[in-house]
């Protein structure tokens, strides 16, 4: 990686050519050269624990993926209008992870954004309605349509004022700091949502699509309170709409006990979107739904993506799923996630800055607050903690609209030793601040 050049020189080159709108971690980022499992190594040989990489689920540099990719690339890589077995194999394998009989149509694309965009198009065609309801503080992608339903102000500070007229935003169902709290929060948020769905229908814009994550990923792994999704799904369907579960971030086994986030809510969506984990860093996304929903697009021609479902992508997709299950990474996410969660709860007892530990499995969020009663977001402190953790050898980043939640979503091969290292480093960083 340009050995001999300084980090500053390579960063300046980047700033001149690679548009800065795409951002980078840290003002003064380490120059990363290689990765192994949950570890990153910079050009000076310094190691970092990667706490934020929920794409490379098998761990950096997994040899099985490298081998499968190399072999397939040398044999054949072409588009899914040709006939080869990998595309059927991946589709079948994906359907096997979902509730039996509920889904029968897989569409393969290249990213989460593409999956969301296609899901919105399918739902609009099937429901015959352009209006979409989504949830505040969420992110679904960067394309025209996926961005339109992305409401998170951490990604776009003006998201609240700039949504197109076909987008209708519901409150974020957050039982920790939202309008409704505690055990009845799910039912209370659902009541609000159902009342707004009624208002939109009455004013001539009935909702055709409801899209939400089954856990508030961008907000920091915050639970969608029990009862909410079931009630909102029912209301949307009763009004003639379809429901999309965006599993790009919180699905694919990362939560440990459930493979898909919607399972936790005992609901079954009409359309599921997925990406990130599927390719372990290779660009793969999918929309999974029922044939009758896809048929609604029939008068708009066929759906085709040059690289979506390519021989290479499909083969990598099958390999990633094989390794994920053979190495029981969902089980590891549950076991090590529980270690991390209980360690974080123990830290919260010593450090009043920790207001809440959100999430489950290896999708956690540590929310920092200045005051346990007012829950004033400790955003500056969160940035300081991230910078200090980096000195201590941990890559950590803030998330959420208030910038006060630490992301904890490392590769799913994350070890107990790495959990202990992270907890110790966080303990040091928090102690220095207090």
Residues that bind ligand PMP (CB under 6 A): 111-113, 116, 139-141, 213, 217, 246, 248-249, 275-276
Q: Which is nearer to ligand PMP, 255 or 381 (CB)?
A: 255
| Strand order across the beta sheet in which 394-395 lies | 32-36, 39-42, 47-50, 394-395
Q: How far apart are CA 194 and CA 328, in angstroms?
A: 39
Residues 6+ apart with CB under 8 A from 264: 214, 215, 255, 257, 258
Sign, CA torsion 115/116/121/127: positive
Q: Which is nearer to ligand PMP, 249 or 418 (CB)?
A: 249
Q: Which is nearer to ligand PMP, 141 or 343 (CB)?
A: 141
Q: How far is the CB of 249 from ligand PMP (least distance, A)?
A: 4
Q: How far apart are CA 402 and CA 250, in angstroms?
A: 20
Q: Which is nearer to ligand PMP, 173 or 217 (CB)?
A: 217
Alpha carbon of residue 317 to chain centroid: 17
Q: How far is the CB of 412 from ligand PMP (least distance, A)?
A: 16
Burial letters 88-97, b for 16+ CB under 10 A, else e: eebbebbbeb
Q: How far apart are CA 31 and CA 41, in angstroms?
A: 9
Q: Which is nearer to ligand PMP, 258 or 419 (CB)?
A: 258
Phi, psi of 367 (to 5 degrees): -90, 125
Strand residues in 39-113 grouped as ranges (E): 39-42, 47-50, 105-109
Alpha carbon of residue 336 to chain centroid: 19
Integer Rg of the chain from CA: 22
Both structure tokens of 429:
């960083």
Q: How far is the CB of 164 from ligand PMP (least distance, A)?
A: 18
Q: How far is the CB of 421 from ligand PMP (least distance, A)?
A: 26
**Contact present, 425 and 394 (Cβ < 8 Å):** yes
Provide the 10 A C-beta neighbour count for residue 33. Answer: 14
Q: Which is nearer to ligand PMP, 60 or 276 (CB)?
A: 276
- Which of 255, 407, 254 shows the shortest CA–CA distance to 324? 254
Q: How far is the CB of 234 from ligand PMP (least distance, A)?
A: 23
Q: How far is the CB of 119 from ligand PMP (least distance, A)?
A: 10
Q: How far is the CB of 154 from ligand PMP (least distance, A)?
A: 11
Q: Which is nearer to ligand PMP, 246 or 401 (CB)?
A: 246
Q: How far is the CB of 275 from ligand PMP (least distance, A)?
A: 4
Q: How far apart are CA 353 and CA 114, in angstroms?
A: 38
Q: How far is the CB of 406 from ligand PMP (least distance, A)?
A: 17
Q: Which is nearer to ligand PMP, 140 or 388 (CB)?
A: 140
Q: How far is the CB of 248 from ligand PMP (least distance, A)?
A: 4
DSSP state of 306: S
Q: Which is nearer to ligand PMP, 43 or 284 (CB)?
A: 284
Q: How far apart are CA 20 and CA 340, in angstroms?
A: 34
Q: Which is nearer to ligand PMP, 103 or 139 (CB)?
A: 139
Q: Which helix (H) or strand (E) holds 430?
A: helix 416-433
Alpha carbon of residue 225 to chain centroid: 18
Provide the 10 A C-beta neighbour count for residue 433. Answer: 15
């Amino acid at each position: 990686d340009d050995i001999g050049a300084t980090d500053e020189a390579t960063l300046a080159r980047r700033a001149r050519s690679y548009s800065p709108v795409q951002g980078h971690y840290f003002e003064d980022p380490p120059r990363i050269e290689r990765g192994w499992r949950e570890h990153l190594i910079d050009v000076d040989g310094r190691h970092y624990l990667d706490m934020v990489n929920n794409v490379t689920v098998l761990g950096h540099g997994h040899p099985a993926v490298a081998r499968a990719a190399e072999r397939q690339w040398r044999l054949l890589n072409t588009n899914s209008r040709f006939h080869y077995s990998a595309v059927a194999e991946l589709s079948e394998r994906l359907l096997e992870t979902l509730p039996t009989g509920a889904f029968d149509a897989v569409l393969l694309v290249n990213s989460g954004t593409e999956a969301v965009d296609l899901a919105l198009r399918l739902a609009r065609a099937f429901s015959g309605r352009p209006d979409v309801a989504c949830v505040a503080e969420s992110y679904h992608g960067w394309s025209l349509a996926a961005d339109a339903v992305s409401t998170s102000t951490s990604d776009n500070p003006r998201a609240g004022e700039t949504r197109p007229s076909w987008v209708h935003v519901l409150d974020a169902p957050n039982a920790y700091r939202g309008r409704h709290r505690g055990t009845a929060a799910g039912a209370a948020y659902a009541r609000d949502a159902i009342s707004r769905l009624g208002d939109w229908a009455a004013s001539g814009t009935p909702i055709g699509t409801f899209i939400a994550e089954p856990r508030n990923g961008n907000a920091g792994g915050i639970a969608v309170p029990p009862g909410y999704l079931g009630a909102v799904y029912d209301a949307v369907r009763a009004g003639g709409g379809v429901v999309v579960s965006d599993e790009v971030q919180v699905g694919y086994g990362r939560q440990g006990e459930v493979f898909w986030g919607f399972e936790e809510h005992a609901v079954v969506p009409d359309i599921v979107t997925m990406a990130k984990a599927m390719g372990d860093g290779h660009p793969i996304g999918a929309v999974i739904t029922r044939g009758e929903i896809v048929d609604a697009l029939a008068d708009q021609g066929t759906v085709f993506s040059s690289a979506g479902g390519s021989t290479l992508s499909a083969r990598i997709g099958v390999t990633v799923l094989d390794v994920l299950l053979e190495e029981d990474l969902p089980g590891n996410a549950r076991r090590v996630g529980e270690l991390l969660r209980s360690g974080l709860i123990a830290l919260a007892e010593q450090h009043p800055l920790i207001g809440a530990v959100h999430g489950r499995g290896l999708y956690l969020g540590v929310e920092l607050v200045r005051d346990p009663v007012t829950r004033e977001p400790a955003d500056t402190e969160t940035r300081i903690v991230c910078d200090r953790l980096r000195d201590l050898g941990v890559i950590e980043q803030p998330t959420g609209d208030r910038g006060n939640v630490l992301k904890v979503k490392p590769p799913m091969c994350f070890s107990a030793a790495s959990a202990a290292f992270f907890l110790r480093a966080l303990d040091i960083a928090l102690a220095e601040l207090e």
